[in-house]
Chain A
């Protein structure tokens, strides 16, 4: 399903990601754990196509995403397309996140249905001008123009536990947890094969965290979406993932089923991470 193979990415002299490989089965749930700066977000951005890897490939359902991304990298003056010039890739190191450019609409939609993301910061991941309902309608119009949007919106809102009031409220009138639910609904609206959650509960308080984690576990069962759960919090990961990848300084240092890794960590770094988790009593 999702196969990440030998990803590497450097920013100048910083090697953010080094030869990272892992696979995520259909409907599975994989945790990527590591301290701050270990390259988790960079890996996620490469998977999403927001960033181009220096090496390696990302395959979803047999389609190689990185190949598409790689095709973006072409000599600067090889081709002139006057009014599409806006889609020309920029090769400057400092703005790598434009690799999504220069793709046809069908290709964009296909890539979107492969992987979606919920970002860490619920306050910055929604357009401040738009209510949940508007956001969902936009996405559905793009991906499923023939669908009964009102019904599907109601269904999505119900799935993530948002009421009528929240559906029409602007993000600034919602709590962090409610915004994160909107972001989850937006991602699910596309019906992706894989949902990446980059520290999706880190900004929330423990109680709301637990609610959202329950919601996610529930959604995984119902929708069959595979989850890639990125976090620095081993406590969170134990609740929602089957498999685990531990990253340190851009490299994978340990992998295995969540139960295995947590019960019997091989790598000293994993033990260190585990030791720093405040254990719930019992």
Chain B
């Protein structure tokens, strides 16, 4: 392209632009990699994540254990890879469920207004009043261990954030004449919502959802750190941090720091990607 925006010619701004873009691409790649690992992790793990090789306990990286081993002599790399699915699929399920249900609730409330709005918004506020983790702990204590209980609890806890956003977006979107034009053209409210309203608010909602992914990952890690939510013997990044505490105190931090890093990096990557999407939307609208 020859007719380039003059801003790009200013070296500092150009650097900023490509720098931001590179960060986004890196994070996108990392996020995609994490999802791939979550799906294929158990098969990627070089060793049995629960096999303890006591001779190697608390050793650093070695050919047999590329990322070292924890206090029980379990291979850290294998546990990270095998733990990815339990650590990531939970939050993904939370995000999927809370997004679908939240959009349904929020768009319905915003589109119809009146008493459906009052009812749905009050109900969502009620959910908001309970701290997510507390609800999750109650669910786990009621329905036993397993990923389902905390996932459902967290989905419910995150739903109001999505529905509130979707409702506000719907309210501002429905003032736009293009939606009125579709109504005048004879399209049904349902068709307009599904084909025009939701696709147009989707990028912002998805951005919020991927932020929620970060929080859900942290919450579920906290739960598994507390020993709740996942069946025993299933490694997760949260439980690895828990197991790694003693190693940390004994001066062999690797087995605790690596799952921490995995959590932080994944959360950051998803949030950067989310922010980039939201940014693109606002620029498109601007």
Chain A residues with CB under 8 Å of chain B are: 48-50, 85-88, 90-92, 95, 97-98, 100-101, 105, 108-109, 111-113, 115-117, 119-121, 124-129, 138-139, 142-143, 172, 183, 186, 190
A-B contact count (CB 8 A): 79
- List 17 contacting pairs A-B, 8 Å CB cutoff, sorted by A: A50-B180, A50-B184, A86-B116, A86-B190, A98-B112, A100-B183, A105-B186, A113-B186, A119-B177, A120-B177, A124-B176, A125-B176, A125-B177, A125-B178, A128-B284, A129-B200, A190-B185
The 10 residue pairs across chains A and B that have the minimum distance between CB atoms: A112-B186, A90-B114, A119-B177, A108-B186, A125-B177, A109-B186, A95-B113, A124-B176, A100-B183, A127-B178
Interface string of B158-200 (1 = CB under 8 A from A): 0000000000000000001110111111111110000110011
Q: What's the nearest-Cβ distance from chain B to residue A119, in Å? A: 4
Which residue, B113, B114, B185, has most C-beta atoms of chain A within 10 A? B185
Question: Which of the residues A90, A108, A109, A128 comes within 8 Å of B113, measured between beta carbons?
Answer: A90
Question: Which of the residues B116, B181, B183, B195 comes within 8 Å of A125, measured between beta carbons?
Answer: B181
Q: What residues of B have a CB within 8 angstroms of the CB of A92 in the complex? A: 113-114
Q: What's the nearest-Cβ distance from chain A to residue B59, in Å? A: 55
Task: Say yes or no: A121 contacts B177, CB within 8 Å.
Answer: yes
Task: State the CA gap A138–B199 with chains docked (Å).
Answer: 15
Q: B255: CB under 8 A from chain A?
A: no
Task: Say yes or no: A128 contacts B184, CB within 8 Å.
Answer: no
- Closest partner residue, chain B, to A118 (CB atom): B181
Q: B108: CB under 8 A from chain A?
A: yes
Known: A86-B108, A95-B114, A98-B113. A126 touches B178 (CB 8 A): yes
Task: State the CA gap A127–B200 with chains docked (Å).
Answer: 8
Q: What's the nearest-Cβ distance from chain A to residue B103, in Å? A: 15
Q: What residues of B have a CB within 8 angstroms of the CB of A115 in the complex? A: 184
Q: What residues of A have a CB within 8 angstroms of the CB of B10 in the complex? A: none
Task: State the CA gap A139–B176 with chains docked (Å).
Answer: 19
Task: State the CA gap A111–B115 with chains docked (Å).
Answer: 27
Q: What residues of A have a CB within 8 angstroms of the CB of B178 in the complex? A: 124-127
Tally B residues with Cβ within 8 Å of A: 26
Task: State the CA gap A190–B184 with chains docked (Å).
Answer: 10
Q: Which of B9-43 contact A (CB under 8 A)?
A: none
Interface string of B99-122 (1 = CB under 8 A from A): 000000000100011111000000
Known: A121-B177, A186-B181. A128 touches B200 (CB 8 A): yes
Known: A119-B177, A119-B181, A139-B185. A86 touches B112 (CB 8 A): yes
Task: Say yes or no: B284 contacts A172, CB within 8 Å.
Answer: yes
Not counting A86-B108, A98-B113, a sample of 10 additional A-B residue pairs whose C-beta atoms are within 8 angstroms of each other reads: A88-B112, A109-B186, A116-B185, A119-B180, A124-B178, A129-B199, A129-B200, A142-B185, A143-B186, A183-B181
Q: What residues of B have a CB within 8 angstroms of the CB of A120 in the complex? A: 177
Which residue, A48, A92, A105, A127, has most C-beta atoms of chain B within 10 A? A127
Q: What residues of B have a CB within 8 angstroms of the CB of A95 in the complex? A: 113-114
Q: What residues of B have a CB within 8 angstroms of the CB of A124 in the complex? A: 176-178
Task: State the CA gap A102–B195 with chains docked (Å).
Answer: 19
Task: Say yes or no: B180 contacts A116, CB within 8 Å.
Answer: no
Task: State the CA gap A92–B116 with chains docked (Å).
Answer: 12
Known: A127-B200, A128-B285. A117 touches B114 (CB 8 A): no
Q: What's the nearest-Cβ distance from chain A to residue B62, in Å? A: 54
- Closest partner residue, chain B, to A87 (CB atom): B189
Task: State the CA gap A183–B181 with chains docked (Å).
Answer: 9
- Closest partner residue, chain B, to A130 (CB atom): B196
Interface string of B108-144 (1 = CB under 8 A from A): 1000111110000000000000000000000000000
Task: State the CA gap A87–B111 with chains docked (Å).
Answer: 11
Task: Say yes or no: B186 contacts A111, CB within 8 Å.
Answer: yes
Task: Say yes or no: A127 contacts B184, CB within 8 Å.
Answer: no
Known: A127-B196, A129-B199. A116 touches B284 (CB 8 A): no
Q: What residues of A have a CB within 8 angstroms of the CB of B112 in the complex? A: 86, 88, 90, 98
Q: What residues of B have a CB within 8 angstroms of the CB of A88 in the complex? A: 112, 114
Task: State the CA gap A119–B180 with chains docked (Å).
Answer: 10
Q: What residues of B have a CB within 8 angstroms of the CB of A50 in the complex? A: 180, 183-184
Known: A86-B108, A124-B176. A117 touches B113 (CB 8 A): no
Question: Which of the residues B180, B185, B189 comes within 8 Å of A186, measured between beta carbons?
Answer: B185
Q: What's the nearest-Cβ distance from chain A to residue B144, in Å? A: 35
Which residue, B177, B184, B199, B285, has most C-beta atoms of chain A within 10 A? B184
- Closest partner residue, chain B, to A110 (CB atom): B186
- Closest partner residue, chain A, to B179 (CB atom): A127
Q: What residues of B have a CB within 8 angstroms of the CB of A126 in the complex? A: 178
Q: What residues of B have a CB within 8 angstroms of the CB of A139 in the complex? A: 185
